[in-house]
Structure formats: C-alpha cells, structure tokens
Amino acid sequence: MLSVIFILIVLWKLIPYFVPNDTTDYSKWEAEVNAYLSQKKEVPATKPLHLVAFNPNKVDSAVLINMGISSKIAATWVKYIQKGGKFRENSDVRKIFGMTSELFEQLDSFMIIPPTEAISSKEGNQIHVVDSKTITESPIFNRAKILINEKKPVNVLELNNADSLHLLAIPGIGPVFASRIIRYRNLLGGYYSVNQLKEVYGMKEEYFKATSPYLRADQTTLTTFNINFATIQELGRHPYIGFKTARLIFKLRDRVGKFTKPDDLSSLLSGDSLKRMIPYLKFGQ
C-alpha cells in the first residue's frame, strides 16, 4: 500500500513535465470588453416639442403626445385631471411626476388657465375656486358691464396698451379672451397687426370678424430684442421661435458671428416665419 501511494505521488509530481500546460489567452477579449465599457454612452436625442397654446386643465393625452410630451407624463397628467385635480396656476404643473424644470420652462409660455379656474378666494384654511357668477359680480366686471350696457359708441382700441377692462368693452370679447389676448401679447412683445389675434387660442373666424373692426395695433410700442445678444431662454420663449430653433440660432451665431440683417436667418426660418419675426428683431452691436 505504501508503495502504491509513493508511486502516485511521484506521478503527480512528474505529470506537468510530460503534459503541456495550454493556458487560454483572454487578454484580447478583456481589451475589447474594457473598450466597450469605457465608451461614452450616447444620450438619446431630446424629442422636439411642437407646442400650441392650451388649457392644462382641459387637455387630453393625445394633444400632449402630439406636442412631443412623453406618453408617461401625458398619462400622469390626464390621470390627475380625471381624479379631480385642478391647476390654478401654471406653476402647479411642476408637481406632475416626471416633469422637469426644462420641460416646464418650455410649456409655461403656452399654458393658459381661464380666470374662472385661476381666481380663488380663501375662507379659513380652505381654498375655493371662484365660479363665473362670483366673477361677474366683482367690481371690475360690473364696471365693464356698465360700459357695454350704456351702448355708447365703442372707440377703436389700441391693442398694446389695452387692459382687461378696456378689452371687455369690445363686442365679442369676454373675460377668457381678454385674458388670452393679454397673455399672448406679453409672449409676443406686443401686436404689430390685428391679424395676429387669429393666433390666440380659441379665436375663431367669427369672433375675429366681430372684434377686429374695433381694434388697431401700434407697431411703435413693440418690445424688441437684439438677436446678437439674446439668450436661448429669451429666444425660446417667443412663440415665433421656440426652443428648438433657438438652439439652432445660437449655434449659427457662434459659428458665423453676429447677424447684421434678417436674411442671415433665412437658413433657419422659412420666408413666412422670418417675415412675421422681423418686427421683433434688432440687429446691431
């Protein structure tokens, strides 16, 4: 028995000298793996938004998705509304799960909450939405009612200096449209043409025909901005540009230098888009 054990030990010691030790070279495979892991992952391109003016309390998922908002955020948004949730001001939209600061910043300029939904009154620790009856009984609306009921000739109103009370005196304009007209005016920087009212959310042709004879637009009151110094945020907030085009303008400006004339933007803006944008632009040092 001891002899057998001794022979086995000797054979175990001698085997490496007679049997070649083939080791697999994994270095090439490891190098490929390390190279793959070290590669910078591509960030998926942000889906461009196609925004239009809308009421965040009345919107549906189809409209949100068509504007470029993700289906998950759209579903959460609509579910919140269906459960009785109400946005009383634009900043309330921030609480939607998945809503980023960048996305909200882009949506903010296009969300319009009618006064009947936005105005609220406090009683104790509870907040109650003011209904249309309460609004019509408020002093400011009573004054507007008096102006209309007096049946005095309505003078032609200058759009860029008019407040809500003046607009309410115009046939065909109620509290909702007055609010929308002023909000869109602030986004634009003023109206240079009465025809721009057709771009106001909900402004149908029959409404426009009823109101336009009583309105005019003074181009000298427009708020303009210098295209050579405006930030992406300033450009992106303008309804005629948007954030997608704003980034392209920014890149072109960095590449070719300052713009000196409207035609310098013709590669980014179509003829009609550029034409309606020109009144708001300044070119200079």
Residues 147 and 166 in one domain: yes
Residues 252 and 275 in one domain: yes
Last residue of a domain, one of 221, 238, 270: 221
Residues 88 and 160 in one domain: no
Last residue of a domain, one of 179, 200, 221: 221
Residue 22 belongs to some domain of the structure: no
Q: Is the dihedral of CA 200, 202, 205, 211 positive or negative?
A: negative
Residues 160 and 191 in one domain: yes
Residue 70 belongs to some domain of the structure: yes
Residue 1 belongs to some domain of the structure: no
| 145 contacts: CB under 8 Å, gap ≥ 6 | 136
Residue 17 belongs to some domain of the structure: no
What is the structure's pLDDT at 193? Answer: 94
Structurally, how many domains does the chain consist of?
3
Last residue of a domain, one of 221, 239, 255: 221
Residues 94 and 140 in one domain: no
Residue 123 belongs to some domain of the structure: no
Rounded percentage of the chain residues whose pLDDT exceeds 70: 73
> Residue 1: how many CB atoms within 10 A of its CB?
5
Residue 9 belongs to some domain of the structure: no
Q: What is the CATH number of the domain that holds 154?
A: 1.10.150.320
Residues 231 and 215 in one domain: no
Does 148 have pLDDT greater than 50?
no
Residues 67 and 96 in one domain: yes
Residue 42 belongs to some domain of the structure: no
Q: Are 210 and 172 contacting, i.e. CB atoms less than 8 angstroms apart?
A: yes
What is the structure's pLDDT at 218? Answer: 92
- Encode burial over 138-163: b for 16+ CB neighbours within 10 A, e otherwise: eeebeebeebeeeeeeeeebebbebe
Residues 213 and 160 in one domain: yes
Per-residue pLDDT of 20-43, as tens digits, reads 555 555 566 566 666 655 554 444
User: What span, in angstroms and rounded, lies between the C-alpha atoms of 87 and 93?
Assistant: 7
Per-residue pLDDT of 90-137, as tens digits, reads 889 998 998 998 888 888 867 888 766 554 433 344 434 444 444 444
Does 235 have pLDDT greater than 70?
yes
Does 139 have pLDDT greater than 50?
no
Q: Which domain covers residue 269, as residue numbers?
A: 225-282
What is the structure's pLDDT at 26? Answer: 54
Residues 230 and 208 in one domain: no
